[in-house]
Structure 1
Amino acid sequence: MSRQTSNARDRILTAANKMFYAEGIRAVSLDNIAEKAGITKKTVYYHFKSKDDLVEAYLASRDQPNLALYRKWFDEADGGLPDKVAAIFRQIATSARHPKWKGCGFLRTAAELANMPGHPAMKVGAAHKKKFELWLAQEFETQGLVGGAALSRQVVLLLDGAFSTILVHRDADYAEAAGEAARALVEREVRNSTQRGSGQMESAST
C-alpha cells in the first residue's frame, strides 16, 4: 500500500471516528464521511466495500487505544487493587463531563445494530468487551484473588451500566457511584482471599 493510499484510508477512518461517535452510525452516510475526509465517495468504496465494512473498521480502530487507556488509568492509580478499579470509573466520570463525550462507542453501536446480531461490528464490540473482562480477571488473579473471573464480570456489568445510565440522566456522578460499588466488591474479595490464605496457613501449621 502506497503512502498516498494509506493516507486516504487513515483520513476516512478519522472522519468515521469523529462522525459515527458524535452522531451515530445510522445518521451518518458515506457521502458525509467522504465530505468530512475531503475525498470522493468512490475513494471511500476503494478502501471499504460497504458502510458495514467501514463501521466494523471504525470500532476495530478504537479497540486497542481504549484498552490501553483503561490499563493506563489502572496502572497509574494510587493505592491498592480496590482503588485502582475505582480509578477507572472516576476517570470515566471525568471524561463524561466533557461536552463532546457521547458514551461508549461500542455500546452505542451495539444498540443501533441490536436487530443485526451477526453484523461484523457486533463481533468487534463483543470481542473488545471480552478483552477488557479477561484483562481485569488476569489482574485480579495476579493479586491472588481466587474468584477473579467472576469478580471481573461483576465489574464489567457495573462499568457498562454506568455508561448507559450516564447517557439516560446526563449525570457523570453515576460513574463514581458505580466505582464505589466496584471498590466494595473488590475489597470484599480481597478480604475473603486473605482469610482463605490465613486459614490454609493455620491448617498447615497444625
Structure 2
Amino acid sequence: MEIKPRDRILQAASELFYRQGIKATGVDAIAALAGSNKMSLYKHFPSKDDLVIAFLRKRDADFRAWFVAQIDGRAEHPQDKLLAVFDVIGEWLAIPEFRGCAFINAAAEFPLEGNPVHQVSAEFYDQFRVYIGTLAGECGIASPENLALQLSLLVEGAIVSEQMKRHSGAAEQAKQAASVLIQNSLNASNTTY
C-alpha cells in the first residue's frame, strides 16, 4: 500500500525533528526525505509550525497508545502498573535511537509558554500526569494528583538524565524512589481512613 504524500511528509518531519531538532531542520530537508517538494509540503501543512504541531500530536497519540499497552501487558493491579511505568520508560531510554523526549526537546526549543509548540508539549505531560493520577486513585491513594506529579517528575528527570549521559541507570533509580513514594502515599492514605 502506498503511503499518502501527507503521511510521507509527516513521517519525514518526525524523523528529522526528533533526530536533529525542530529549529535545525529545514523544510527543504523534510521535502527531500519525503520524496516530495516544498509546494506539496505547504499544501498539506501551511506552515512549518503546523507541521511541528502535527508531528507532536501524532507522537503523542502513538506514544500514549504504545505506552498504555506496554503497562497493561505487564501488570494488572494499579500499584504494579505505577511501578511498571519505570520499567517501560527504562526500556525506551535504552534504545539506540533515543534522543530524549520529543516534548521536552520541543519545549526547550520553544520556551515561551504561549507558543503553540510549547503548549502541545505541556499538554502531553498534563495527560501523562492524569494517567498516573488515575492509577494512583485506583490504588486508593488519598491525594493521587500529588503522587502523579511526584512520579511524573521522576520520569522527566530520568529522561533528561539519560539524554545527558547514556546508560546512566536513571530509570532504575527513579523506580526505587517511586517505590518509596508510592508506599508512603499508601501508608498515609491507610491512616486517614
Q: State the TM-score, normalized to the length of structure 2.
A: 0.92
Letter in 1 for 2:32: E
The answer to whether 1:105 aligns with 2:102 is yes
Residues 19 and 33 of structure 1 are in contact (CA less than 8 Å); yes or no, is this contact kept in structure 2?
yes
The answer to whether 1:63 aligns with 2:65 is no
| Equivalent residue number for residue 188 of structure 1 | 184
Q: CA RMSD in A?
A: 2.0
Q: Distance in 2 between matches of 1:93 and 1:140?
A: 20
| Equivalent residue number for residue 128 of structure 1 | 124
Letter in 1 for 2:90: A
Unaligned runs of at least 5 residues, structure 2: none
Residues 162 and 178 of structure 1 are in contact (CA less than 8 Å); yes or no, is this contact kept in structure 2?
yes
Higher-Rg member (1/2): 1
The number of residues matched between the two structures is 193
Q: State the TM-score, normalized to the length of structure 1.
A: 0.86
Q: What's the offset of the Cα at 1:192?
A: 2.2
The DSSP-based 3-state class of the residue aligned with 2:4 is helix
Residues 89 and 155 of structure 2 are in contact (CA less than 8 Å); yes or no, is this contact kept in structure 1?
no
Q: Distance in 2 between matches of 1:13 and 1:87?
A: 31
Q: Distance in 2 between matches of 1:195 and 1:164?
A: 35
Return structure 1 stretches of 4+ with deviation > 6 angstroms.
none
Q: Distance in 2 between matches of 1:21 and 1:91?
A: 20
Residues 67 and 88 of structure 2 are in contact (CA less than 8 Å); yes or no, is this contact kept in structure 1?
no
The DSSP-based 3-state class of the residue aligned with 2:167 is coil
Letter in 2 for 1:95: W
Instruction: Name whichever of 182-191 and 7-16 sits farther off.
Output: 182-191
Letter in 1 for 2:55: Y
Q: Distance in 2 between matches of 1:68 and 1:187?
A: 28
Of 153, 164, 174, 2:149 maps to: 153
| Equivalent residue number for residue 21 of structure 1 | 18
Residues 158 and 178 of structure 1 are in contact (CA less than 8 Å); yes or no, is this contact kept in structure 2?
yes
Letter in 1 for 2:163: L
Q: Distance in 2 between matches of 1:78 and 1:132?
A: 18
Residues 82 and 187 of structure 1 are in contact (CA less than 8 Å); yes or no, is this contact kept in structure 2?
no
Unaligned runs of at least 5 residues, structure 1: 198-206
| Equivalent residue number for residue 42 of structure 2 | 45
Q: What's the offset of the Cα at 1:83?
A: 3.2
